[in-house]
Amino acid sequence: MTETLSIQQARKVVLLSQGLPPGRKSGSAIDATLSAIENLGYIQIDTISAIQRAHHHTIWNRNPRYKNSHLDTLLRSKKLFEYWSHAASYLPMRDFRYSLIRKEAIASGEMNHWYDRDKPMMKDILKRITVEGPLMAKDFLHNKKIGEWNTKPSKRALEYLFQQGDLMVPYRINFHKVYDLTERVLTEDIDTCVPTQEEYGRFIITSYLKANGLGQASEIPYLRKNTKQLVALTLQEMLSNREVTQISVDNKVYYAPAAALELLSKPLARSKLKILSPFDNLLIQRKRMKNLFNFDYQIECYLPAEKRQYGYFSLPILWDGKLVARMDCKADRKTSTLHIHHIVLEPSLTKTDDFSTALQKELAPFMKFNDCDSLQLHNTTPTSFKAVLENIPQ
């Protein structure tokens, strides 16, 4: 029998599954960081630094006690590892064996990497790292750059060895990868058995639904190449075994674990406002956000300036269980100033006074997180909202 949820109920299930807004967590701050990553399944790594980078921002929104040093500590203590999810990511080490499917496919040539395989260069690099220990890309001197990304041949070879599993990244230095042999990075207690196709299909489904609460069959294998059929078949098996249930939301079919529906009885902190990263796990599937939250979002930093509607790095704002605004901002590290270039309210937002109060309250910790002690608000849409926000007591 198919359950039916309203859009509001579906949003609640999604947000509570995502850990947004966060509730109180017991234990140490770093344990809360690991717990958040294990719940989400991955944290996307990104280099854009208009504000704190996306991997820090995404975790901070779920763990207010988060420190930027946590990721490096967890990486060095082998609680996390770097690899590819739908993008470059930090992943829980407990899930390491599920990365072997992609690694074997790249090593065998079944799956193409971005670069051509330079076997002599790869052989030389492996030999050097074996003898010399962990090395960075800068340790390999090659002046020639090739391809549209203008990448050095040695860097391409390092990334190929990383993608096919010969090398891992045990830590970073100033955000630059350090590479070492996989067998020297992994400890004996880490499971390195390659999962069966059935195990892999179940992993994709269960990890997605745990993090997202509910999902369509087309959403679950998002950017996991050659897994759509596997996911579809495994979903039907899990449905027949009552491991998942079928749900109708706005006349669309979703799947969810039984535990997700129990979230409907739990409270959602609707008064808390969170300023999200464009790469936040909640937002990464744009069509999903349009269907469930009626929020049409595109990150515009990759567009020419003249084509941007909301700004270079516009951050979605979550409040009252909805995505109600977006804020283009930049942290000026030299002056410790957070510049809000433009706040745009969604047309559906009517409680502007309550929203302003919630935003003002969240801006203080957001500024601290971005190492800023002053704020400059430039533009708002509608323009009248600027006066409303500025009149809220500090």
Q: Is residue 190 within 8 Å of 93, Cβ to Cβ? A: yes
Of 125, 124, 127, 154, which is closest to residue 138 (Cα–Cα)? 154
Q: Which residues pair with 274 in a beta bridge?
A: 318
| Number of helices (H), then strands (E), in the chain | 14, 15
Q: Is residue 195 within 8 Å of 230, Cβ to Cβ? A: no
Give the span between the Cα atoms of 261 and 253, in whole angstroms. Answer: 15
The answer for 318, left when phi > 0, alpha when psi is -120 to 50, beta otherwise, is beta
pLDDT beneath 50: ranges in the chain = 148-150, 394
Q: Which residue carries 């590892």 as its tokens?
A: 81
**What SS3 class is residue 214?**
coil
Give the span between the Cα atoms of 89 and 194, in whole angstroms. Answer: 20
CA distances from 154 to 44, 157, 190, 257, 337 (A): 24, 5, 29, 45, 39
Q: Which residues pair with 323 in a beta bridge?
A: 318
Give the span between the Cα atoms of 221 and 224, in whole angstroms. Answer: 5
pLDDT value at residue 225: 85
Q: Which residues of 65-88 are buried (b: 16+ CB within 10 A; e: fewer)?
A: ebeeebbeebbeebbbbbbbbeeb
Q: Is residue 244 within 8 Å of 235, Cβ to Cβ? A: yes
- Residue 141, both tokens: 């001197």
**Could you state, in order of their start, the residue ranges of all structural domains in the chain?**
1-113+164-276, 304-390
Establish whether the linkage from the previous residue to 21 is cis, with ω within 30° of 0. yes
| Helix intervals (H) in 109-227 | 119-132, 153-163, 182-185, 197-212
Of 101, 225, 256, which is closest to residue 163 (Cα–Cα)? 101
7, containing H or E segment: helix 7-18
Q: Which residue carries 């955000």 as its tokens?
A: 175
Q: Is residue 92 within 8 Å of 80, Cβ to Cβ? A: yes
- What Rg, from alpha-carbon coordinates, does the chain have? 22
pLDDT value at residue 248: 97
